[in-house]
Structure 1
């Protein structure tokens, strides 16, 4: 007991000191140090020793204090300053809470509690889809630029479909998709592709029994997954694999719940007595796909290398039109990853196989692709920037709010009334990025300064609307990026504490053409999506891990080399193609 302290004063019985890891290296973990003090009185001080002429050096400070020894001088001083242990610990608690709030990058928990069971006893953690490039197949011109953003179109009950029965086609109604558990599993698949010359990224799925591989264009802007189908086929590209050929038993009737979801926007409603469910999808670039819904065995690879089998509803597409036929020269269809109930992640989540979370990571290296995953086990929540996912009854797109944009230090107008907030859509099915008309014109005006560096616009290059010729043939963006400035998009909210910045370096908006020119991978979006939204396509999503968390209703991103997820040593192989 300290001199002058009354017997009724609170007695200190122990101290716990918690040290958080540094913000730049959370992997170091937190440190907990405990000091336990006894209630028994302290032993009397030892007899005073004769004074020495030269005092000995201070003894080393022990790592911990054994029982029956008073707390160190610093603790006594803290008690003296604050008067009571309750006051001291109250201040320490408030400081700890303030530090956690300051270090947290978002409203998501900084740490997640996991099961204490052995890892071998847990269910497989993730589905991961590797993404890799398939170079030199063809070269796109600006007339061939694809912008997916697929939507199921409304039709009345005209005879526009096809009935599949041993290769015989009969007339039927046409129509489609639209939409507005918690097992700890995840799927992972490799992804291949590039921005130029192919203009798409694709992965593979295994369908049927025995399973057959199909290459599908990865598209977060599409609802329905579909493969080219021999029903028989009216208009199909050659594709990477033979056409999927369904049997009559695989075609789902219109009374199926997912068919009702597809056909609920039809003027006449869905047909309960029909023997099949027809659909037609129209894309933003005026391409289209028509077919019938089928259900077949669908196999995905877990992150641990094992396979999962599921009965999955997808489109048996027998009639493709427009620019879509170009990409189908190297793929077999599209995998729909939107928020719609008929999308791949939504169906797997409804079956309790995954949590409804989608992520993709596209490398900036033209010789690589990246990966895609389904489920939340591979998401590094504490490393990512997060913004709210906006909800709209009219679309299933992944979109948030953009409130400000800069090119370098120069502010660009967002367009619209009073230059207010606009939508920004994350779309892996679009090769390039689209700005509103006003933002695009402001960006072009800001880029005129590069002519002072010897870059002259080359109107003869058909690769993209704006290309510059340098003083030398350019082989990579790294050779010229010093002449361009980064774009900074402020997303999520007007106030700094509620918003996050999405940075697009020159590598995220420049493309090198076959002529050695530098081309702008940002296009005028005044005719796309009503011209009111910004669309971030593959060119600007490269080098970023992008996650769409439909459970928490958030969109997140973090810089990454996209070689593999942090928790995996290697990606699974790309089935169906020689590497």
Structure 2
């Protein structure tokens, strides 16, 4: 162990010995390691803080949310359509990955997750992940529409080879505000014994996306430049690392072989409010695909409401999650979107408001034949966004139930707002208001029926509620944002090529004592009593 003093080694050994008295043995998940049936790995979820109560701060909050979503969509447009020809429309992750399955189909783990709904970091859910050896925690944004996991990184200074960082550790925010001082957890490859830098000369580097290598040099690190949907830019080098997770049988285990971006420069909307991004998108190097390969080919997550109790918690789970299955569970085929390749989509067959089917052209939902068609699930977009052909009939149908209320026009980012104090359940006899049911029908009979507060956003500013939809002026695909997805548990099952979901408050997941149920895709199932896993 070059570069470490004898004293440091002794201290590390002593620390290791003390930890071993308190924790179960740390195991390595090698190719021949199979977990016990019913095990998983998991990361817990805590509820998001509510939007600010102060009127000016609340207005800034929703303005920031709108700006973040707009930046994200503008960058999504630039990434679309580059190689539609010859791409598989229903490409499954299991067909593209070269990684072996080393966990049993019933193994699982979970990761703690919370939402950072505040002015600095609106509408983004955070997961705490332990990376490196020794394993240190990093707060990463949960993103279902990207395939690159990256962490704020500090490299050892080597003149002329790699980017360096100022010791103050500044990051940049959007809107021309310049650099901001931020309290961050910095990943330092030189201090992790499990970090393995990828070189430009390696075959592995040649197939990694966003690659900026100029030559197959053995001396040059495999570098990348990524500009994501929300306008965030990250520049860094690729390496392989290990994550430390707690498996559901209580064991601590190492998850090796993760492709990690060591980011030496970040700029964008919210890089000063987190340590990096955890990729849940489709792709060989995605954290979700890599982990799911070892845990039953699936992962699930539940997004808590912004109004949840501060003591509530939920999980991002890798492996079969019994909480997914129960009365009201729906399933539909995954569409691996050809325009936004890391994202997961579904085939929408219709939208109903108050039970009335809206007149929306079929091509709006057709990702197979039309550029920008279809819809994707995006946990990093807040407000559900629709192309004009869908946005107009949706907002018109909802407005018919609210048009007798005084309109408010000056709220940036929201076209349909009303002077009305919305308490959350959508029924207000005093003002003759009942928010109608909203249903998104999907292939196979699945029905997504969000709560009223996901269709009309209450208290965008004090005493004002707005329709929770945004118009996509530069094309699709449509985006189901995290406001629309909240209080549902979602599962991406690469093995079966299915998306499963059902209503859930996301705060009662104690998986060891839970039991599963059967998938039911008929209309009656969506109104069944929600099964709670205790």
TM-score if structure 1 supplies the norm length?
0.63
Q: Measure the CA separation in 2 of the matches of 1:193 and 1:469.
A: 28
| Aligned equivalent of 1:513, options 460, 464, 468 | 460
- 1:542 aligned to which of 468, 477, 486: 486
Greater RCO (CA < 8 Å, at least 6 residues apart):
2
Q: Of 213, 220, 243, which residue of structure 1 is paired with 2:186? A: 243
Shift of 1:206: 0.8
Task: Give the deviation of 1:272 after TM superposition.
Answer: 6.0
How far apart are the structure 1 equivalents of 2:455 and 2:498?
Answer: 25
CA distance 1:355–1:417, change in 2 (3 Å): closer
| Corresponding position of 2:289 | 346
Taking structure 1 as reference, are residues 417 and 309 closer, same or farther at Cα in structure 2, changes over 3 Å only?
closer
Is the Cα–Cα contact under 8 Å of residues 288 and 324 in structure 1 kept in the other structure? no
- Distance 1:152-1:345 versus aligned 2 partners, 3 A rule: farther
- 1:247 is paired with a residue of what secondary structure? helix
* 1:375 paired to 2:299: no
Q: Distance in 1 between the 2:366 and 2:128 partners?
A: 41
User: 8 Å contact 2:424–2:453 — kept in the other structure?
Assistant: no
Task: State the Cα distance separating 1:417 from its structure 2 match.
Answer: 5.0
* Residues 57-112 of structure 1: per-residue CA shift (max 9 Å, x gap): xxxxxxxxxxxxxxxxxxxxxxxxxxxxxxxxxxxxxxxxxxxxxxxxxxxxxxxx
Superposed CA deviations along residues 220-252 of structure 1, whole A, max 9, x for unmatched, are: 111011111124347626555332122296422
**Does structure 1 retain, via aligned residues, the 8 Å contact 2:282–2:343?**
yes
**Segments of 4+ moved more than 6 angstroms:** 149-154, 265-270, 418-421
2:417 to 458, 467, 475: 467
Structure 1 residue 215: deviation in Å? 0.6
Q: 1:210 to 1:267 in 2, by over 3 A?
A: closer
TM-superposed deviation, 1:254: 3.0
Structure 1: give runs of 5+ residues left out of the alignment: 1-120, 155-178, 493-497, 571-579
How do residues 535-574 of structure 1 correspond to structure 2 at under 5 angstroms?
535-565=479-509, 567-568=511-512
Superposed counterparts of 1:119-134, under 5 Å: 122=36, 125-134=39-48
Distance in 2, Cα, partners of 1:515 & 1:382: 38
Question: Would the aligned equivalents of 1:189 and 1:373 in 2 still touch at CA under 8 Å?
Answer: yes
Partner of 1:183: 103
1:464–1:196 CA distance, 2 compared to 1 (3 A): farther
Correspondent of 2:115 among 193, 197, 216:
193
Q: Hey, what's the Cα distance between the residues in 1 that align with 2:132 and 2:363?
A: 52
Q: Does 2:138 correspond to 1:214? A: yes
Contact 1:434 1:536 in 2 (8 A): yes
Counterpart-to-counterpart distance in 1, 2:494 and 2:308: 30
- Which digits, 9 at most, give the CA deviation of each residue in 1:359-394, with x for residues without a partner? 111123444463211112446446521111124555
Change (3 A) 1:477 1:463: farther
Q: Is the 8 A contact 2:116 2:126 kept in 1?
A: no
1:129 deviates by: 1.6
Q: Is the 8 A contact 1:193 1:369 kept in 2?
A: no
Distance 2:78 2:39 in 1: 37
Match of 2:63 in 1: 142
Question: In 1, Cα distance between the equivalents of 2:266 and 2:412?
Answer: 26
* Deviation of the 1:342 alpha carbon: 0.4
Q: 1:62 is matched with which residue? A: none
Query: In 1, Cα distance between the equivalents of 2:412 and 2:473?
Result: 20
Which residue of structure 2 aligns with residue 522 of structure 1? 469
Q: Given that residues 286 and 322 in structure 1 are in contact (C-alpha distance below 8 angstroms), is that contact kept between their aligned partners in structure 2?
A: yes
Match of 1:230 among 130, 143, 154: 154
Shift of residue 196, structure 1, vs aligned partner: 6.4
1:437-456 matches, within 5 Å, as 437-453=388-404, 455-456=405-406
Q: Distance in 2 between matches of 1:551 and 1:227?
A: 29
**Secondary structure at 2:449's aligned position in 1?**
strand
Aligned equivalents of 1:256 and 1:479: distance in 2?
A: 61
Hey, what's the Cα distance between the residues in 1 that align with 2:425 and 2:361? 29
Deviations 1:182-205 (A, max 9, x none): 523211122211656531111100
Q: Which residue of 1 aligns with 2:127?
A: 203
Match of 2:24 in 1: none
Is contact 1:201-1:369 (8 Å) kept? no
Deviates more, 1:436-445 or 1:457-466: 457-466
Query: Cα distance 1:128–1:446, how it changes in 2: closer, same or farther (>3 A)?
Result: same
- Structure 1: how far apart are the matches of 2:76 and 2:410? 35
Could you tell me how far apart the structure 2 residues matched to 1:251 and 1:153 are? Answer: 30
Q: Deviations over 1:134-193 (max 9, x none)?
A: 526885233543345887999xxxxxxxxxxxxxxxxxxxxxxxx892523211122211
Distance between the aligned counterparts of 1:204 and 1:306, measured in 2? 18
257 and 342 in structure 1: CA distance in 2 versus 1, 3 angstrom threshold: farther
The separation in 2 between residues aligned to 1:450 and 1:483, in whole angstroms, is 7
Match of 2:220 among 256, 275, 285: 275
Matched, 1:486 2:437: yes
- Rounded Cα–Cα distance in structure 2 between residues aligned with 1:451 and 1:151: 33
Contact 2:413 / 2:470 at 8 angstroms: preserved in 1?
no
Tell me by how many angstroms 1:476 deviates. Answer: 4.1
- CA–CA distance in 2 between the matches of 1:418 and 1:141? 27
Residue number among 218, 222, 231 corresponding to 1:286 in the alignment: 231
Answer with 1 or 2: which has the greater Rg.
1
In structure 2, what is the Cα distance between the partners aligned to 1:413 and 1:306? 53
In the alignment, the residues of structure 2 paired with residue 194 and residue 266 of structure 1 have an alpha-carbon distance, to the nearest angstrom, of 30
Question: How far apart are residue 338 of structure 1 and its match?
Answer: 1.1
* Gap runs ≥5 in structure 2: 1-34, 80-95, 156-163, 173-180, 368-372, 515-534
Asked if the contact 1:363/1:561 (under 8 Å) is kept, the reply is yes
Q: Distance in 2 between matches of 1:420 and 1:377?
A: 31
